[in-house]
Amino acid sequence: MAKQKFETHVSPAGIAVYPWLNKPDTKFDADGVFSVKLIFDKAATKKISDVVKPLMNGGKNNPIKPEVDDQGEKTGKYVANFKMKAHVRTKGGDEWDQKPILVDSNGNRMIAAIGGGSKLQVAYEAVPYDAMGGGVSLRMKKVRVLDLVEYQSKDSGTDWGEENPNNLGMIYKLSSIYQTL
């Protein structure tokens, strides 16, 4: 059976939310999943929606959802979810690893850690499926970084302050007192 080919589309520029583009997320899938959610305004969402709607075929899992704030209220923007499996196993027994191609605004490959708030475009394939109520999956192929917000871990911004030699002397004296007790 020949592999079905899907047309590659390019998303409008959107703002990244929780991007997993440099390494796969393995929290819920041991094989790993690369993913990014992009936030778009209504006009930009129409470009992706025009690709997705004809493929939905009554499915209930639309990859485009209204964005909601902390109180559950709609913001007027939309979130599209793009994914790519890091390790693929076919029904025929073939296996391979893959990752999205990351490029800068000039098309040059990049390895910078892409963080939330980055402005991105995604080259993707819209793939319909029937399982679990059916729907469409937006399979990420390539990511273009238009405005990079580099990811920083929670600990990278720690300000340890300056060392005060007087405090260290006091701590040493106190520890000496406790040792003699």
Residue 181 has pLDDT above 60, yes or no: no
Average the pLDDT over 28-37 and give the result: 95
Average the pLDDT over 23-28 and give the result: 94
Higher pLDDT, 71 or 157: 71
Q: Which tens digit of pLDDT belongs to each residue from 61-111? A: 999 999 999 999 999 999 999 999 999 988 888 999 999 999 999 999 998
**Is residue 173 a contact partner of residue 166, using CB atoms and an 8 Å limit?**
no
**Is residue 44 a contact partner of residue 79, using CB atoms and an 8 Å limit?**
no
Structure tokens at 51: 């690709």
pLDDT bracket for residue 179 (50, 70, 90)? low
**Is residue 147 a contact partner of residue 118, using CB atoms and an 8 Å limit?**
yes
Count of CB atoms situated within 10 Å of the CB of 171 = 10
**CA–CA dist 138, 123 (Å, integer):** 9
Residue 157 has pLDDT above 70, yes or no: no
Higher pLDDT, 59 or 120: 120
Residue 50 has pLDDT above 80, yes or no: yes
Nearest to 88, CA basis, from 74, 72, 99, 75: 99
Average the pLDDT over 49-71 and give the result: 92
Percent with pLDDT over 90 in the chain: 69
Residue 153 has pLDDT above 80, yes or no: no
**pTM for the whole structure:** 0.79
pLDDT bracket for residue 1 (50, 70, 90)? very low
pLDDT at 5: 85
